[in-house]
Structure 1
Amino acid sequence: MDLCLSIKGVSFLLQTGLGILGNVLVLLAYTHIVCLEPHLLPVDIILCHLAFTNLMLLLTRCVPQTMTVFGLRNLLNDSGCKVVIYSYRIARALSVCITCMLSVFQAVMLAPAGSCWVRLKTRLPGLVIPTFAVLWFINMAVCIAAPFFSIAPRNGTVPAFTLNLGFCYVDFRDNLSYVINGVAVSVRDFVFVGLMLGSSGYILVVLHHHAQKARSIRRSQASAAMETRAAKTVVTLVTLYTVFFGIDNIIWIYMLTVDQVPPVVADMRVWFSSCYASLSPFLIMTSNKKVRNRMMCTTGIDREQPSVNTQDSRETIS
């Protein structure tokens, strides 16, 4: 194995291993929380679902990709490729949808009491689970074409208009199908990223106004620190996704302009598009008090925590 292949293999191995570990820890932490509390807050349900979606993404894309990089061949037959590619497409779509959902939920919950969002704010917690069902249904329907183009690798040259994933081929058969698929995926992602950025910008504006009021009436430093922590977490999550989304789509646009995609380009896109799924659980662990406290309990660290009013809608992610 040459140096470049070794670097690629180690990179995928670290990304996959750390990402799976992080998302599993978040899910285990929430499992422990559910055992102690009768109900999860809506934001905790969203974060838990985000961790599950990212875990699904890593298992269906990065694990077979890592195995292929290390020389394992013929991992899947045609049926296996169809299942894996379909599951990956759904997980990837849900990752951006749920991140957008988290940002929009926080924006509505932080809206001022006198705004037009008051009625929606009272109903929003009850809409979380139905929204999950709608997102799953929509993305399963949108991604239904993926299995029809997915096949196991064949001996010989890679056909034109084919994405060579290493462990599977996605053969679009003609340029029109290739471009339509690429444009449809990009448009869907850009819409959700636009909503995500808009709602996150609104959150920052609201928190900025709260901070100004806090200074004017000299509220406690703890309240101001909570608002700052929430703002930093939202900005970091959205920035994290947007950066990797931008790199992913730059590579994807290039891939749409060529008949045959070099394997190294496809590998780069997979690595960058999976970075969010690998890094986001560690951001959740460091920024969410409930998850962090469960981690401390499991590691034997017992610290006195001040009581937190779980109904405070401002502490939506801290």
Structure 2
Amino acid sequence: MFSLKNVLYFQAGLGVLANMLLFCFYIFIIIGHRPKPTDLISCQLTFVHITMFLTAGYIWLSDLFEILNVENDFKCKATFYISRVMRGLSICITCLLSVVQAVTISPSASLLATFKQKLKKYMIYALLCIWSFNISFSINQIFYVGAYTNVSETSQMNVIKYCSLLPMNYVIRGLILTVTSSRDVFLVGIMLITSTYMVIILLRHQRQCKHLHSISQLRASPEERATQIILLLVVFFVVMYWVDFIITTTSFLLWRYEPVILTVQKFVVNAYPTITPLVQISIDRRIITMLKNLQSKCYHMFLKRCFFSSL
């Protein structure tokens, strides 16, 4: 268990650093340049992922509550509520990112192309609705969590050292599971549909380009690279989601959480927000160019300091 906790700390540290770098990059792009429609969405997604590492893994926020000597019941409800909101935002914003990219690369003759001109306006409304929905969606669930009493009760399901799910009847338990699962399955379904659509568009575009250029001269356009990034992230998200869904549903129905299983679930939950920025940083040429320019500037500043110090 000690080694598993160290793995979680390493994963969280790597994820926070990568997401912070990506978040600063998107802020720089949004403020000082002409951002793409997906840049604003990706910026919010990185912010959500940073917050997830502070809450969903129950690592740093719980340590902060311990230092501040916050009451167990409050920190349990606060941690659980924020983590649920961030988890919902992650799947909703990832779905929106997939939809927006599908609209962006759609051919001019398609039905989706009619939304291109109003994409920015619709996207802002969609983000406002997503945040409002998720903030309100998880409020009722905080009534079913509380401080762990550390007594031998089978009606409590301990999820972390100071927090547990309180007793609830089978109707409420089934209702919560059904509503949450329906939302997630619906969003995952949209992601799979838009991903399939984008794959078809990319394959069709490649076949058309082969008639004009040789294979050795073919290079992916910025739109194609962005689409490939989003496709990769969506596929990885869907895989991690179903692993998390199976663990959560099984534990919820059996009303039992094993410590090792809970630790594995934390690792799975944090896998997507850890891999996402690493993939984007390694593939997005704008980020690579910015890092190279920053490295070059730092190198020249270092040479200047060495030159003046030697005089």
Q: Deviations over 1:142-200 (max 9, x none)?
A: 11112212212222235425352334222243333223222222221111111011101
So what's the TM-score if we normalise by structure 2? Answer: 0.85
1:171 aligns with 2:171: no
Counterpart among 93, 101, 117 of residue 96 in structure 2: 101
Match of 1:264 in 2: 260
Map 1:77-226 to 2 at 5 A: 77-160=72-155, 162-218=157-213, 221=217, 223-224=219-220, 226=222
Counterpart AA for 2:97: L
Larger radius of gyration: 2
Which secondary structure does the structure 1 equivalent of 2:165 belong to? Answer: strand
**Are residues 108 and 228 of structure 1, via their aligned partners in 2, closer, same or farther at CA, if it must alter by over 3 Å?**
closer
From 267, 270, 273, give the equivalent of 1:277.
Answer: 273
Give the one of 59, 62, 66 matched to 1:64: 59
Which secondary structure does the structure 1 equivalent of 2:116 belong to? Answer: helix
Quick one: distance in 2 between partners of 1:122 and 1:273? 36
| Worse-superposed segment, 252-261 or 119-128 | 252-261
Give SS of 1:196's match.
helix
CA–CA separation in structure 1 for the residues paired with 2:292 and 2:10: 24
Return 171-180 or 195-204, whichever deviates more.
171-180
Structure 2 CA distance for aligned equivalents of residues 13 and 19 of structure 1? 10
1:49 pairs, out of 30, 44, 52, with 44
Which deviates more from structure 2 when the two are superposed, residues 172-181 or residues 89-98? 172-181
Q: Distance in 2 between matches of 1:122 and 1:35?
A: 21
2:287 to 264, 285, 291: 291
Mapping for residues 242-261 of structure 1, pairs under 5 Å: 242-261=238-257
User: Whole-Å Cα distance in 1 between the matches of residues 167 and 198 of structure 2?
Assistant: 41
Work out the number of aligned pairs and report it. Answer: 295
C-alpha separation in 1, matches of 2:288 and 2:166: 44
Greater alpha carbon shift after TM alignment, 258-267 vs 40-49: 258-267
Cα deviation, residue 252, structure 1: 1.8
Q: Please give the secondary structure, in 2, of the residue aligned with 1:157.
A: coil
Q: 1:138 to 1:184 in 2, by over 3 A?
A: same
Q: Partner amino acid for 2:196?
A: G
Equivalent AA in structure 2 for residue 6 of structure 1: F
Q: Which runs of 5+ in 1 are unaligned?
A: 303-318
Indicate how the Cα distance of structure 1 residues 90 and 211 shifts in structure 2: closer, same or farther if over 3 A, else same. same
Q: Tell me: CA distance 1:274–1:158, structure 2 relative to 1, closer, same or farther (3 Å).
A: farther
Work out whether residues 147 and 162 of structure 2, in 8 Å CA contact, stay in contact via their aligned partners in 1: yes
**Sequence identity (%):** 26
Q: Which residue of 2 aligns with 1:305?
A: none
Question: 1:148 aligns to what SS in structure 2?
Answer: helix
- Residue 83 of structure 1 aligns with an amino acid whose one-letter code is A
Q: What's the C-alpha RMSD, in Å, of the aligned pairs?
A: 2.6
Letter of the 2:197 counterpart: Y
User: Is the 1:76–1:168 Cα contact (8 Å) retained in structure 2?
Assistant: no
Q: What secondary structure, in the 3-state scheme, does the structure 2 residue paired with 1:122 have? A: coil
Q: Classify 1:36/1:80 alpha carbon distance in 2 versus 1 (closer, same or farther; 3 Å).
A: same
* 1:243 positional shift: 1.2
Deviates more, 1:134-143 or 1:161-170: 161-170
TM-score by length of 1: 0.84
Q: SS in structure 2 opposite 1:257?
A: helix
Amino acid at match of 1:258: L
CA 1:172/1:124 → structure 2, altered by over 3 Å: closer, same or farther? farther
Between the aligned partners of 2:290 and 2:153, the Cα distance in structure 1 is: 49
Deviations 1:180-227 (A, max 9, x none): 222222221111111011101100100111111111122893544656
Per-residue deviation, 1:67: 6.2
- Match of residue 24 from structure 2: 28
Q: Whole-Å Cα distance in 2 between the matches of residues 230 and 209 of structure 1? A: 17
